[in-house]
Structure formats: C-alpha cells, structure tokens
C-alpha cells in the first residue's frame, strides 16, 4: 500500500512541476522547439534541472539495486540503436513538434478537460495500442513481475 501512496505523490510532484514549468502549455513548448523563429530557451532549464536532480539521485539509488519498497529495477536490457528506435523517436518528435505537447504534459493537462487535450490523449492511446501490437511479443520486451518500471 505504501508503494501506491508513494507513487501517487511522485506523480503529483511530477504533474505540478510540469504545470509550474509551463510544459503543459503547447505554445511554450512550440516556442522552445522553434529554433529559427522566436526561440524560447526557458524549457532547457527545466530539462537541465531534471537531469541534474535525476543524476544526483541515481548515484545514491543505483547501488541499492532495488527500489525503497524492495522491487528490483527494470532497466533496459539492450543498448542497441535500431530502426525501430529511430523510427519511434522520429514519430515522437514529429508529434511533439506539431502538437506542442508530449505524453506527460498531455496526461497532466487532462485535469483541465480541454477538448483538444482529450482528443490528443485518445489518439496517443490508440497509437500506443497500435505500436504495442506491432512490437515483437518477447519476454525481453516486458518487465518481469514485480520489477519497478512502466512500459
């Protein structure tokens, strides 16, 4: 039960951070991605801050090998860069650049019941279902039972 409470508060902290930083506002994201126009570099500080906090925290957490609730970490088993990875990253980047929103901020923005966000999340969910169906169903493609991680 404590793991669910902790996960809830981590998600809440993440959502508040997205809102405060402006990442839930597509115009802010598009301003960051528009390098040839009126570029807004402020989201680079959000990314840099997140990388710094994560990098410091990971140095303390990784040696444990398990979460604070005892579950093993679900780390990538492959470091191979292949066509599927490049195609997925390209499609993700195209969606982010055109829509100005990515999955985390989209889910956070559902709290405002904006019709555009509801349509985006519906399409995103459908895309995830289609993408998952097209992915090879091997045991390596999924975390083992009890592992911490979302796929």
Mean pLDDT of the 12-25 span: 90
Residue 6 lies in a domain: yes
Q: Which domain covers residue 49, as residue numbers?
A: 2-141
**Does the model's pTM come out above 0.75?**
no
Residue 74 lies in a domain: yes
State both tokens at 122: 């519906």
Residue 115 lies in a domain: yes
Residue 135 lies in a domain: yes
Residue 107 lies in a domain: yes
Is residue 110 within 8 Å of 92, Cβ to Cβ? no
Mean pLDDT of the 108-114 span: 87
Residue 7 lies in a domain: yes
Residue 146 lies in a domain: no
User: How distant is the alpha carbon of residue 100 from its chain centre?
Assistant: 14
CA distances from 121 to 5, 35, 116, 125 (A): 25, 26, 9, 6
pLDDT tens profile 98-107: 888 888 888 9
φ/ψ of residue 23, rounded to 5: -70, -10
- Facing residues of 66 across strands? 72
Domain count, the chain: 1
pLDDT tens profile 29-66: 889 888 888 889 999 999 999 999 999 998 988 888 88
The confidence score (pLDDT) of residue 151 equals: 40
State both tokens at 6: 């902790």
Residue 65 lies in a domain: yes
């Amino acid at each position: 039960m404590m793991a669910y409470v902790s996960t809830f508060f981590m998600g809440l902290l993440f959502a508040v951070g997205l809102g405060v930083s402006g990442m839930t506002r597509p115009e802010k994201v598009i301003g960051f991605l528009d390098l040839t126009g009126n570029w807004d570099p402020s989201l680079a500080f959000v990314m840099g801050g997140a990388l710094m906090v994560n990098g410091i925290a990971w140095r303390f957490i990784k040696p444990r090998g398990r979460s604070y609730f005892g579950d093993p970490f679900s780390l990538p088993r492959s470091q191979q860069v292949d066509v599927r990875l490049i195609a997925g990253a390209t499609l993700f980047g195209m969606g982010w650049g055109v829509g100005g929103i990515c999955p985390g901020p989209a889910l956070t923005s559902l709290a405002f019941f904006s019709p555009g966000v509801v349509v985006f999340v519906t399409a995103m969910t459908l895309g995830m279902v289609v993408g998952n169906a097209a992915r090879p169903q091997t045991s390596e493609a999924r975390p083992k039972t009890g592992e911490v991680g979302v796929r």
